[in-house]
Structure 1
Amino acid sequence: MATPETTTESTPAELPRISKRIGGIAESATLAVDAKAKALKAAGRPVIGFGAGEPDFPTPEAVVAAAQAACADPRNHRYTPAAGLPELREAVAAKTLRDSGYEVKASQVLITNGGKQAVYQAFATIVDPGDEVLLPAPYWTTYPEAITLAGGVPVQVTADETTDYLVTVEQLEAARTPRTKVLLLCSPSNPTGSVYTREQVVAIGEWALEHGLWVITDEIYEHLVYDGAESVSLPVVVPAMADRTIVLNGVAKTYAMTGWRVGWLIGPEDVVKAATNLQSHLTSNVANVSQRAALEAVSGSLEAAHGMRTAFDRRRRTIVEMLSAIPGVECPTPKGAFYAYPSVKALIGKELRGTTITDSVHLAALILEHAEVAVVPGEAFGTPGYLRLSYALSDEDLKTGVTRLADLLAEVQ
C-alpha cells in the first residue's frame, strides 16, 4: 500500500515589526525629560523641571479670544488650503518684513503643524539620500533625526564654551565635502542660547554662496535676545542667498503658543510648492482655529513678547550667576533664547553619594534622583559633558531648583 507523501510547509521568516527608518529614530530627549518630571510630580514628588523649552506664560488674551471666536465660525469647520489660510500666509510675510527686514511674498510661505513639521519638511524637500548636512553642535535634538529621515547624513561640526558654542567658517570648510548640500543654522540657539553676530552671519552666508550650498535657518527665538545682541536673518544680510535659503519660524516661543502647533517655512516658491505637496499628503492643513489664533498673534502687538523677554532676561542673569558659583560648573552667559548650557566636564569621574559620575547622562539621573531636579544631558545635543537648563519657569522655582542642584553638587568629591 502506497504511503501518502508528507508535505512540509515552510514557515516564512518573521519580518521586522518596525521599519529600520522609524526604528532608528531616538525619542525626543527634552520631551522625555519633561514627561518624566511631570510623572514624578503627579506621584507627589516636588520635582522642578528645567527640561522643556516652553514659556511658562499664558497665551496672550487677544489670541485666545480670536480662537474662541473662530470656533463658532463654520468656515473653520472645514478643510482649507494645505499651504495655510491665505490671510495667514500674507500676515506671516508682513510680519517677516516687519521683524527681520526680509521681504517675501505669501506664495513663499507654508504654514505647518508647529516648527517641528517645518524642520522635517525642509530637509525632506531638498535633501536626497546620501546628501550631507553640516550640523553645528550643540544642536537641537530633532535636527539629526529629521536629516536622517530625509535620507541625509548629518555631519557634526562642534563648538564649545571657549567660542561661546559658535562655529567658524574655517570649521565649516574643514567639514565640507563634495557631498555637502546643506548647512543648518540656528540663531539664537537651542540648546546654548548663543547668538551669531551680524559679521558672523555674513561670513557664513558668503561662504555658503561661494560653494553653492543651501542654508536652512531656524529663527524661532528671534525676539528673545539680550545684552544688545541682534537676531540676524541670513538672506537679509546676504541677499544673493535668498534663492538657496529656507527660513523656519513659528508662534510657539514668541507668543507662548507651544500647544497651538503653528509654524511656518519660508523659501523659494518652487521649494514651498514641493513642501506643500508633501504636506497635502502628510497632514493636510493646520487646524483652522489654531491658524486664526496665529493670525491674531503675528498681526498684533509684540507687547506681550517684550514683557516675556524682560522676565526671561531677569531669570537668565539669575541662573548664570547661581550656576557659575557651583564648583566644577562653567556657564557661559547666553545672549538669546531661554537656555543655559553649562559645562560639567570637571565633575565627570568624581564621586557623588557613593557612585562615580560616568558621564552627563549619569549626572542628570543622579540630579533627578537626589535633588528632584530635571535637566537634559548634553548627549541629547551631540556634546557629552554638558547640561541644558531651560529658564522658562517661575523665578521662585528657578532659584529653588538651582539651589537644590548646588547643594547636591557640593557633595562631589
Structure 2
Amino acid sequence: MTDASPSDGRDVAEFEQIDWDDHGGWRRWITAERVVLLVGLFAVADLFNYHRNTGDLSLVMQWKVGWIDWLLLIALVVILAYMIVPLAKRPQRVRRLLGHLRGRWATVLALVILATVVAVGGWATVRDWAPLNTLVNGDSFDTLQPPVGATIDTLYPSGCAGPTSNSGGICQGSWTYPLGTNDQAYRMTDLLVMGTRPLFYIVLITLGLVMPLATVVGVVAGYRGGLVDDILMGYVDIQLTMPALAVYLFAYMFLLNTKIMFIVVFGFLSWGGIARIVRSETLQRREEGYVLSARAIGAPQGYILRRHIFPNVTNSVVPATFHLIAIIVLTEAGLGFLGYKPFDRSWGQTIGQGLYRAPPLDAWWVAALPALALAATIVSCKLIGDGFRDILDPRGKA
C-alpha cells in the first residue's frame, strides 16, 4: 500500500498556503450586492439632502415622506442588494426554491396573502390614500350600511343604500357598499385598505433592517466567541430585560407617539431572541468539518462567514423573523384597539371602534372584517416561517 505521508511535504504546503488575497483579486471585494447597496444608500442620502433643502418631497405620486419613510427606503435598499440581487445572479436558486414550494399549497397561499397585503399597503402609502366619509343626497351620512347578503334594522342607519323591507324596517346590503360601512360612514373596503399600511412598514423594515442586524450580531458573537461574544450577548441580555411595551408607553406619555417611535421600540428592541437563536446555530456550525477544513487551509473569516456560516443559519433566521413580524403586527393592532393609535386607521383601531362605538351584534361586520384580515395575516406569517424552515434546512429534504 502506498504511504499516504508525502516525502518532502511540498504537496501539503501548497495546499495549506493558499494566497487568499489573490484568490479572486478585486472581484472578491467588488460584488453586485455591494455596488447596489452603496448606490442605493447614496441615492437615499441624496434624496434626504434634497428633502431637507426644499422641505417638501413627493417620491412617488403623493407619497410625503417622514422619518419612518427614510428608514423604509434604507430597508428596501438592503432587501434589493442582499435578497433580490443574489436571486437574480443565480436563477437556479429561484428554480430550486420554486421546486421546493411545489406541493406546499399552504405556504404558497400564505405567501400570496402576505404579498398582497404588503402590495396594497405600498399602494396606499405612495398614494397618500385615506378613507373618506360618504354622503346620501349631500346631507346625511351612510352610517352602518350592511354588506352584501347582510341586513340591519333601519333604526341604526340614517339612510339605506339598498332595498328595505317595509314590514320589518330592515335595510339590506347592496353593491354600492359591498362590505358595508361603519358608524362613521367610512366604507369598510377603505378601512381594510388603510389597515394594510402598518404591515407595509413592519414587514419591510423587519426584513430589511431588523433581521440583518440580528443575524450579524448572532453570527459574529457565535463565531468569534470570547470577549466579543460576552459584549454582544451582554447587550442582548440587557435588551431582553427591557419590555418593549413599557418603553413604548413611557415614550407615548412623555415624548411623542409617532410611527417611527413604534418601529424603533418594537422593531429594534425585539431582535435579541433572533440573535440568540443565530448564535446558538453558529456555535454548532463553526465546529463542522467543512468549517474546520476552510480554517485549516487559511480561508479568511469573512469568506467562512459568507460561504459557510450565513447560508446554514437561514433555516433558523427565517421562521424566527416571520414570528417576530407576527408579534409586531399583533402588538400594533392591540395598541390601536386600546386607542394608542401608532398608525392611523389600523385594523386594531377599526376593531375597537366596531366593538365600542357601533352595536357589535347588529353591525358585526365592522369588527369582524378587519379581525379576519388580521387573523389571515398572522396565520400567513406563521405558515411562511414554518414552510421556509423546512425548505432551507440543509440537514433535511424539503
Q: TM-score, normalised by structure 2?
A: 0.26
Query: Larger % of strand: which?
Result: 1
Q: Taking CA–CA contacts closer than 8 Å with sequence separation of 6 or more, which of the two structures ends up with the larger relative contact order?
A: 1
Superposition TM-score, scaled by structure 1 size: 0.26
Q: Which has the larger Rg?
A: 2
Higher helix share: 2
